[in-house]
Structure 1
């Protein structure tokens, strides 16, 4: 309890009035409930039920996150990155100036957006896409909001907020893509840049790690929480490795790409192989909730599956 009180007492007093910031218990409880639902309760509830379509809900959800991400990027820029920051050693402004308080506010909003994004996985469960809930997906959606809660509590601003601004910029593009994908096959022709989504993610992690690396080569830097920079550097590097592995599996080895439909057989039926299974007489394959649809940043699906006859390799 003494350690707990010491940790919480060290919080920036400007952040404590914000929702869910007075104690780590509610935040940790939300994440534990999330893990319990997506890994156990949700699949069990859906086991004997038909998958929900949720098309309209997903379209609204994705485009709301696009708007929210644009707002977060704008607020980060106006709070320092486009006004007073040097993009090198930028300490946290601990004053109560309007710009400093604006940075505190957008830092909290960025963290809260990660709580909203837990719905990504909930949609997969309700749509019975359980096979697409990978380690990378779960780790990214649970680990980031937990660590950023502490980051916001101690260091709301300064050079440690760079990765939050970059991440929100990427999410503008990412959720715009998912919104179009959720709208159905008629928008598939506008999604030719699917492959580049992972490339954008990899570029993000390179920029984040490089920015944090500057600190190690500076003779002097007054940034108040170097531990945050160490964690950001490790985070960027670790996720670069994970997303690189996904890129190799999906676009080099082709293990996550839909297969071409085979020519018609002599008896007039069609046959194709997808995910190691055989399709006959136009039957659509679904195994473990997977289908040949649009690829999520971490190997999950967030859209409608195209017709079998239109399946193409990325």
Structure 2
């Protein structure tokens, strides 16, 4: 499979081999489900409010900057069909670097769950939360290694915007805990559902475009993943907000 790898990304940090990222994700899963809970079992929850506030602002800035840079490249793409470009053209290299930065962000996102464990917030570590983090890291690495640019760009663009909003909400809740039970949480979930609907559409349009050269099997994989995320987030939304008292 690695004969199809993009040679431009080979010498980038974490991109030469899948092993480092696999080890990071293996440690992540082990810490979340085994090591972390065992470590914290007889300890008081760690007070990480200040660290989390700084982490949230770092996420807001990083996601915001990459989103704004990505917007500058958007006029060069077409949502109906944006083929991959593995050339050394400046536009193609700009998209490569943005996609690589996005991949690193998905690994940085794993700290969310680590903070939950250290604060003994096990109720917030749901299947949806862990699955979403792991799959975003895996898919980001694979596309950055083999399928840079093209249609996947729209996934990253939507996800970056949602993360700016989401981490600002997280900052508000760490600054003032009363925001945790506000209606904002409901709106954030709605925004996440809309994000995945947009992503589904962005991959469905080129699938039915017979003149589009973007790999159809890859589009099917992304569509399946987007459909699953729509289902999981909608299911979470129905369970969390079917009772109006939960958002008051």
Shorter chain as denominator, the TM-score bin is over 0.9
CA contact (8 A) 1:72 1:106 kept: yes
Q: Count residues in correspondence.
A: 248
Deviation at 1:191, TM superposition (A): 5.2
Give the one of 228, 231, 244 matched to 2:234: 244
Give the one of 179, 192, 203 matched to 1:201: 192
| Structure 1 position 142 matched with structure 2 position 142 | no
Measured in 2, the distance between the counterparts of 1:10 and 1:189 equals: 46
TM-score by length of 2: 0.95
**4+ residue stretches of structure 1 with deviation over 6 A?**
none
Residue 42 to residue 189, structure 1, CA distance change in 2 (3 Å): closer
Measured in 2, the distance between the counterparts of 1:167 and 1:246 equals: 19
Q: Which has the larger radius of gyration?
A: 1
- CA-to-partner distance for each residue in 1:92-141, whole Å, 9 max, x for gaps? 12211221111001101111101101000000000001122111111111
Give the one of 202, 212, 216 matched to 2:207: 216
Measured in 1, the distance between the counterparts of 2:180 and 2:103 equals: 34
CA contact (8 A) 1:111 1:149 kept: yes
Q: Which has the higher contact order (CA 8 A, sep 6+)?
A: 2
Task: Describe how 1:1-314 pairs up with structure 2 within 5 A.
Answer: 7-78=1-72, 80-81=73-74, 83-185=75-177, 188=179, 192-223=183-214, 225-253=215-243, 257=246, 313-314=247-248
CA contact (8 A) 1:8 1:23 kept: no
| Unaligned stretches of 5+ residues in structure 2 | none
Indicate the structure with greater helix content. 2
CA contact (8 A) 1:42 1:125 kept: yes
Q: Secondary structure at the match of 2:79?
A: coil
Q: Secondary structure at the match of 1:194?
A: helix
Deviation at 1:254, TM superposition (A): 5.9
Measured in 1, the distance between the counterparts of 2:86 and 2:138 equals: 23
